[in-house]
Structure 1
Amino acid sequence: MTLLGVSTSVLPRREDLEDLLVYEPDVVEFYNYPSELLPGVERFCARHGIRPALHTPTPYDEPEPLRRFAPTGPDPEGVSAAMRLTERTVRYAARVGALHVVVHFPSPYPPFTTAGFAGRCERFLRWLSDLARDQGVPVLLENLSANPLLRDPDQYGRLMRAHPGLGFCLDLGHAHLMGARGDPLAYARALAGSVRSMHVYNTTADRYAEHGHELARPEQSARDGYLDLSHVIPALLGHTSPRVLILEHTHAGVGAGDAARSAGWLRDLLKERDPPGERDAPREQDPPKQQDPPKERERNAVDDQGSS
């Protein structure tokens, strides 16, 4: 059974967690949250029966906004910083029972030098595999489109076969922006059982620079340069068995009604692929919803605001 989740990328203000409930998510993927907000995150998830997932880096407590995450770059200090942020995320995921941790891979910044690249990849992935195993956390590599040394489906497929202890997060938009070389179905065929999650949004080559990650909508058409997700997602699910699909659009121009409509449409697509016995079966691995008494709910709401 594939769950439906949402990223905190959809929030104008990351403190406004209650705004995520319009998606009726099974999972919320938290990204770039400082330590001071995490107690509120944990209470929110427990109160609503939501399973947390994490996108590196979380927690993130540096004074400056994150501008580079370079696990395979030629600068040793950049690699060390990426490892430090990743380790904090994985250790926190182990503590809260997160569904997974997503890590961008490889470094997307030029210059893209061939010399030493394979060795830097191998060192980071061996270290990451050991960390995932030791902490008991599923760690997923996310495909990027900028680095010509590692971006094609077959390249990622060979990498995942060499590191079976890691999983894969298939970002549909990153794949789509590569044009014919990045057909999401090619990734699904090359990666098959490695795909544990998908990031779902839509975009076109012409619109991406201005609009970024757009809300996935049923009316978006390949004629206009979008992914036709009504057909693409069922096809992807025919090749893969992801644990979760994560809506990962930005908040611009997205109202509550739009959000609920898109989430309902995607949930219907998932139900069509679920075996009949699983459609309404309880998910024992998910935390039970906690029903607070009215006064406790009021106090929790105040606490969540205070933690921001």
Structure 2
Amino acid sequence: MPAETALQLSQAPACYLHRGIDCIELFDYPLTAMAELRELYTELKRNGYGKLGFHSPMPRTRAFMDDGVACFYLHDDASQRGLSFDLLEHTLQHARQWQADYAVTHLTYGRTDTTDPGQAERLAAAACRRFAELSRYYEIPINVEFAAYTRTFNQPGQFIEAIARHDELALCIDTGHTRLGANLNGRDYFADIKTMAPYTRSMHLWNTMGNGSEHIPLHPAQDPVTGWIDIEQTLQLVLAENPAVTIIFEYPVAEVTRDIQAGYDWIKQIVNTCSLNK
């Protein structure tokens, strides 16, 4: 079975190919890797991975080589915001060439976002208007990934308000970011999940005990009683609202070991059970 990170190249910081349920999502490869990556994608399609997502930046341009971050949409500096829109448009150009099914972008980045709450909401609304315009032009739906590390813009309701007027946009729930954000802001994780579920079109799944940002692979032995995210309850809440949600395992895998496969099988079983109970 092909490895998720079969193309770990030094030209870009990340280079992640994440598998999902009948889907793969590409993130942060350099332009020079695209031909080889296309061959790998063709092989994956033959193995049943029919849906394709592009996570901005994808591919990363030589003009921007900062570590993994391309989301300055709430930055006070208009030139930084413009750089992020350029990177997103570049992603959408390639996504259309590859006939991708969707794209994902972050909206916030806590370290560089504005500290003015009113400005944050104005910039978020403007960014989502632009996302919708780009989505229509390139005919690629865009999922806005929720993260709650920005002091002035971290509520699920703020994200929902920013995207709700645009049919082209939906949310991407990231389980780890949602858990860490809930801890950071003193909120209930499941309350946030339940609020966002009706607006969610894709999910990034990984686990954490709430004490670090490392994307830990899923495994059925991760007991919520000991501090792990309750992935089963999370999926039940989201699948009740959108049974067709796209599910991505967002953690790097060099080899599909027995434990990794156990995690994949566990999630597929949960999804199948939820489907049967509808």
Query: Shared fold (TM-score greater than 0.5)?
Result: yes
2-structure distance, mates of 1:155, 1:121: 9
Tell me if structure 1 keeps the 8 A contact 2:21–2:268: no
Tell me if structure 1 keeps the 8 A contact 2:198–2:238: no
**Residue 209 of structure 2 aligns with which residue?**
204
Q: Does 1:125 align with 2:149?
A: no
The one of 212, 215, 219 aligned to 1:213? 215
Give the TM-score taking structure 2 as reference length: 0.83
**Residue 56 of structure 1 aligns with which residue?**
56
Tell me if structure 1 keeps the 8 A contact 2:24–2:53: yes
1-structure distance, mates of 2:165, 2:187: 22
**Residue 29 of structure 2 aligns with which residue?**
33
The one of 213, 222, 226 aligned to 2:224? 222
**Residue 162 of structure 2 aligns with which residue?**
159
For residue 208 of structure 2, give the secondary structure of its aligned residue in structure 1: coil
**Residue 172 of structure 1 aligns with which residue?**
175
Letter in 2 for 1:273: C
Tell me if structure 2 keeps the 8 A contact 1:59–1:89: yes
Letter in 2 for 1:127: R
For residue 24 of structure 2, give the secondary structure of its aligned residue in structure 1: strand
**Residue 181 of structure 1 aligns with which residue?**
187
**Residue 13 of structure 2 aligns with which residue?**
none
Pairs aligned (count)? 261
**Residue 71 of structure 1 aligns with which residue?**
73
**Residue 93 of structure 1 aligns with which residue?**
95
**Residue 3 of structure 1 aligns with which residue?**
none
Tell me if structure 1 keeps the 8 A contact 2:56–2:103: yes
For residue 263 of structure 2, give the secondary structure of its aligned residue in structure 1: helix
Q: CA deviation at 1:157?
A: 2.3
- In structure 2, the gaps of 5 or more residues are 10-15
Q: CA deviation at 1:270?
A: 1.3
For residue 151 of structure 1, give the secondary structure of its aligned residue in structure 2: coil
For residue 237 of structure 1, give the secondary structure of its aligned residue in structure 2: helix
2-structure distance, mates of 1:201, 1:45: 23
For residue 116 of structure 1, give the secondary structure of its aligned residue in structure 2: helix
Larger radius of gyration: 1
Q: CA RMSD in A?
A: 2.9
Tell me if structure 2 keeps the 8 A contact 1:196–1:241: no
Tell me if structure 2 keeps the 8 A contact 1:152–1:182: no
Percent identity among equivalent residues?
19
